[in-house]
C-alpha cells in the first residue's frame, strides 16, 4: 500500500472571508472527518494538492501531518473524499479528507495489470481486456497497488475469470467469481464488397461484347444484299 505524506495546518475560521484569504495565500481550505474525534478544519498548500492530482495519487492513502500550532504534530491516515474545483477558473476550491481506521476493512477498486503474452495471440487470436479493475475488501495496510493477471497460457477461446486471480491472504474479491477479466478471441475479418468496381467490370464486359456484335451484324447485312444486286 502506497502512502503519501501531506502537510496541513489547523485553521480556526471557516467563513467565506478567511477562506478567500487562505486561497489568496496559496492554500486550500479543507476538513478532516474522523470517527474517533471531532472534525478538524485544515489548510493545505494548493501546489501540493495539485501535485497529488497530477501524479494520480489523489485516490491513494494520504498521511496528513497536521500542525496544530503546538509543539507536536498529529498524524492521520486518510483518503481524499472530495476535491472541489472552481468551474470557471479550474482552481482547487476545497478538500475533504476522510479518516481511515487501520483496524477496519475497507472496500476499494484496484486496477488489474496484465502480464505475459498469450499463446493464442501468436496463433492469430486477439487478447481482449474485459475488466480494468476489480472491487476488493481488506484492511488498509493490506491494500495492493494492483493485481497481476497472467495471460501467458491463454489459447484462442480461453479466458481468465475472477476466481482465477491470485491475491494475498486477507484480501477478498467482491466481483462475481465467473466474471471474465480477459480472453483471447478469433480475429474476425470483415469481407469488404466493392460494388463500384464490380459494376465497372460488368460495364467493360458489356461494351466489349457490343463491339464484337457490331461487325458480325454488318457482315450479315452485306451478305443479304449481295444476291439482290446480282439478280439485277
Say yes or no to pLDDT of 155 above 60: yes
Q: Is the pLDDT of residue 204 over 70?
A: no
The better pLDDT of the pair 60, 104 is held by 104
Band of residue 226 on the pLDDT scale cut at 50, 70, 90: very low
pLDDT over 90 for what percent of the chain?
55
Strand 92-99 and strand 27-33: the pairing is parallel
Task: Read off the pLDDT of residues 20-64 as tens digits, 9 standing for 90 and up.
Answer: 899 999 999 999 998 767 899 999 999 999 998 888 887 789 999
Q: What average pLDDT does the segment 207-224 reach? A: 51
Q: Which residues contact 175 (CB under 8 A, 6 or more apart)?
A: 131, 134, 135, 162
At 105-142, the pLDDT tens digits run 999 999 999 999 999 999 999 999 999 999 999 999 89
Helix (H, G, I), strand (E, B) or coil at 105: coil
What radius of gyration do the chain's Cα atoms show?
37
Quickly tell me which residue has 439482290 as its cell.
228
Cα–Cα distance measured from residue 20 to residue 27, given in angstroms and rounded to the nearest whole number: 9
Bridge-based pairing state of the strands 172-173 and 40-45 = unpaired
Is pLDDT larger for residue 106 or for residue 14? 106
In whole angstroms, give the CA distance from residue 145 to residue 76: 20
Q: In this predicted model, what pLDDT tens digit does every residue of 171-193 receive, in sequence order?
A: 999 999 999 999 999 987 655 55
In this prediction, residue 211 has a pLDDT band, given cuts at 50, 70 and 90, of: low
Look-up of cell digits 503474452: 117
pLDDT given for residue 232 in this prediction: 41
Torsions phi, psi of 124, nearest 5? 105, 5
Q: What is the pLDDT of residues 77-99, one digit of tens each?
A: 999 988 998 888 878 999 999 99
Q: Which residue has the cell 475488501?
A: 137
Task: Report pLDDT for 111.
Answer: 94
Closest to 93 in 3D by CA, of 37, 33, 28: 28
> What pLDDT score was predicted for residue 46?
93
Domains and CATH numbers, the chain: 3-99 (2.40.240.10), 106-186 (2.170.120.20)
SS3 43: strand
Residue 5 β-bridge partners:
63
Rounded CA separation 181/149 (Å) = 9
Res. 228 pLDDT band, cuts 50 70 90: very low
User: What does the pLDDT read at residue 190?
Assistant: 59
Q: What is the mean predicted confidence (pLDDT) over 194-221?
A: 55
Amino acid at each position: 500500500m502506497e502512502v503519501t505524506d501531506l502537510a496541513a495546518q489547523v485553521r480556526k475560521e471557516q467563513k467565506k472571508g478567511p477562506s478567500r484569504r487562505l486561497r489568496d495565500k496559496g492554500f486550500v481550505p479543507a476538513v478532516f472527518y474522523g470517527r474517533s474525534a471531532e472534525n478538524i478544519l485544515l489548510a493545505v498548500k494548493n501546489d501540493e494538492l495539485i501535485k497529488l492530482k497530477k501524479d494520480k495519487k489523489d485516490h491513494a492513502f494520504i498521511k496528513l501531518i497536521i500542525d496544530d500550532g503546538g509543539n507536536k504534530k498529529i498524524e492521520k491516515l486518510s483518503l481524499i473524499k472530495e476535491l472541489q474545483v472552481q468551474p470557471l477558473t479550474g482552481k482547487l476550491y476545497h478538500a475533504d479528507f476522510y479518516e481511515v481506521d487501520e483496524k477496519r476493512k475497507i472496500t476499494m477498486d484496484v486496477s488489474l495489470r496484465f502480464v505475459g503474452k498469450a499463446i493464442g495471440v501468436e496463433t492469430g487470436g486477439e487478447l481482449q481486456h474485459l475488466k480494468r479493475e476489480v472491487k476488493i475488501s481488506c484492511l488498509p495496510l493490506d491494500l495492493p497497488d494492483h493485481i497481476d493477471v497472467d495471460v501467458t497460457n491463454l489459447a484462442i477461446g480461453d479466458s481468465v475469470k475472477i476466481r482465477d486471480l491470485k491475491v494475498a491472504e486477507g484480501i477478498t474479491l467482491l466481483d462475481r467469481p465467473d466474471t471474465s477479466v480477459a480472453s483471447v478471441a478469433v480475429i474476425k475479418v470483415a469481407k469488404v464488397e466493392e460494388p463500384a468496381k464490380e459494376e465497372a467490370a460488368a460495364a467493360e464486359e458489356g461494351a466489349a461484347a457490343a463491339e464484337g456484335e457490331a461487325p458480325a451484324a454488318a457482315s450479315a447485312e452485306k451478305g443479304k444484299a449481295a444476291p439482290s444486286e446480282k439478280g439485277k
